[in-house]
Copies of this chain bind each other. A is one copy, B any other.
């Protein structure tokens, strides 16, 4: 049993995490939130209070901290007495937050892989470059660290584990499909920080196929999937965190990630990239001003948080898993559909933040109850998916299954 949560970060996902922790503070205990900017933390707590999200009376506090400063994090963990840290800050702070957890014994949960600002798409498997180097230390010290416990990575890892365990003797392939069929009504916008968003698509696309890492370019390999609720959706093979752990845990399966993109997104991306406007290298204007083009693009694009009030439509994220059962080929599709407007009404964020922010709270609840308190480092597919799905069903992200593959018999995962 662990109690009391510290949320690191104060962006759109942190807002969802704070609301969901508040709604479940009977399980989680005190709730603390910390980021570089105290005002942003306080705005989130104000929104939690406005919605009356706290299930029962309890502690709800904001703190200012530099998440790259390990001693400051250690001091904050000790001062607040938290036993669970949910890190939804920028991807650049994972390792410092994890170090603070290892030092204090607090459980660590994150939703995205560590990145260094000056490196894009390092050698696969990505987790081996940073997080997994601390695995032995976590085991030795009995520290629980759950990596990539958002939706993707996170729930999709649990989808894969469940599909394989329940429906097949042998897995052949795992295709993770992430489609946002929502509409924010703007000419163009990214759903999270444009700087991080574009970084995902400017490097090599790694997939695991036929027992080895394959390299492609972004938008090189496309596929249309006819998904439940959102219908036929164009997607492109993309690099993504969960490919790197699933490929390691299921080395005999092909593992690919598919991200949905409309022609319009691709066109805008292509123009900006081709002109050099997505570059992180500074250019000098005729007037002698040195400026990073990507930062100017970020400055003219809508603030992702501003999209939430007018966002409509749904997301569909799922795993198509193929394998062998009783000597015959079989396939199953596990998925969730989320609604942007519902998310905004409940927690004041759009659906992309909602699907990313709800699962780490479910993971924290399982750490609190002991079910996922592993006392070592785990990726999500290394943990029992059933209690995870049970909580997610209840707190906003129900899991459904289509037996026989996409378009097959549709039911709840536990029907």
| Interface residues in chain A, defined as those with a beta carbon under 8 Å from any beta carbon in chain B | 187-188, 267-268, 271-272, 274-277, 279, 283-287, 289, 291-293, 295-301
A287 interface neighbour in B187, B277, B295, Cβ under 8 Å? B295
Q: Which residue of B lies closest to A187 (CB)?
A: B274
| Neighbour of A268 across the interface among B275, B276, B279, CB < 8 A | B275
Give the copy number. 2
Known A187-B274, A287-B295; further 11 A-B contacts with Cβ < 8 A: A188-B271, A188-B274, A267-B267, A268-B275, A271-B272, A277-B296, A283-B299, A283-B300, A286-B298, A289-B291, A291-B299
CB distance from A92 to the nearest CB of B (A): 14
Kindly list chain B residues whose C-beta atoms are within 8 Å of the C-beta of A284. Answer: 299
B-side contacts of A297, CB under 8 Å: 275, 277
Expressed in whole angstroms, the Cα–Cα distance for A292 and B279 within the complex equals: 17
Q: By the criterion CB–CB under 8 Å, are B296 and A291 in contact?
A: yes
- Bound-complex Cα distance A297 to B271 (A): 12
A279 partner residues in chain B, CB cutoff 8 A? 300
User: Can you name 27 A-B residue pairings with CB atoms under 8 Å?
Assistant: A187-B274, A188-B271, A188-B274, A188-B275, A267-B267, A267-B271, A271-B271, A275-B297, A275-B301, A276-B300, A277-B296, A277-B297, A277-B300, A279-B300, A283-B299, A283-B300, A285-B291, A285-B292, A285-B296, A285-B299, A286-B295, A287-B295, A289-B291, A291-B291, A291-B296, A291-B299, A293-B300
Query: In the complex the two chains form, what is the Cα distance from A48 to B296 in whole Å?
Result: 40
Contact residues in B for A267 (Cβ distance below 8 Å) = 267, 271
**Given contacts A277-B277, A291-B291, are A299 and B286 in contact (CB under 8 A)?**
yes
Could you tell me if B285 and A298 are in contact, using CB atoms closer than 8 angstroms? yes
Q: Which residues of B contact A274 (CB under 8 A)?
A: 187-188
Least CB distance from A100 to B in Å reads 26
Q: A36: shortest Cβ distance to chain B, in Å?
A: 12
Instruction: Give min CB distance, A284 to chain B, whole Å.
Output: 6
C-alpha gap A241/B303 in the complex (Å) = 40
Contacts of A275 in B (CB 8 A): 187-188, 268, 297, 300-301
- Quote the shortest CB–CB distance from A276 to chain B (angstroms): 4
Chain B residue nearest in CB terms to A275: B300
Question: A352 to chain B: closest CB distance in Å?
Answer: 20
* Residues of B contacting A289 in the complex (Cβ-Cβ under 8 angstroms): 289, 291, 295
Minimum CB–CB distance from A275 to chain B (whole Å) comes to 5
Bound Cα distance from A271 to B272, whole angstroms = 8
Residues of B within 8 Å of A300, CB to CB, are 275-277, 279, 283, 293
A299 to B188: give the CA distance in the assembly, Å.
23
Task: Tell me the smallest distance from the CB of A219 to a CB of chain B, in Å.
Answer: 15
Q: How far is the CB of A411 from chain B (nearest CB, A)?
A: 44
Cα A47 to Cα B19 in complex, Å, equals 70
CA distance A188 to B275 in the complex (A): 7
Closest chain B CB from A217 CB (angstroms): 16
Chain B neighbourhood of A301, CB < 8 A: 275
B residues less than 8 Å from A187 (CB atoms): 274-275
CA–CA, A299 to B187, complex, Å? 24
List the B residue with the shortest CB-CB distance to A295: B285
Q: Give the residues in chain B near A298, CB-CB below 8 Å.
A: 285-286
Find chain B residues with CB under 8 A from A287 CB: 295
- Cα–Cα, bound, A271→B278 (Å): 14
What 6 pairs across the A-B complex have the smallest Cβ distances?
A: A276-B300, A271-B271, A285-B295, A283-B299, A187-B274, A285-B299
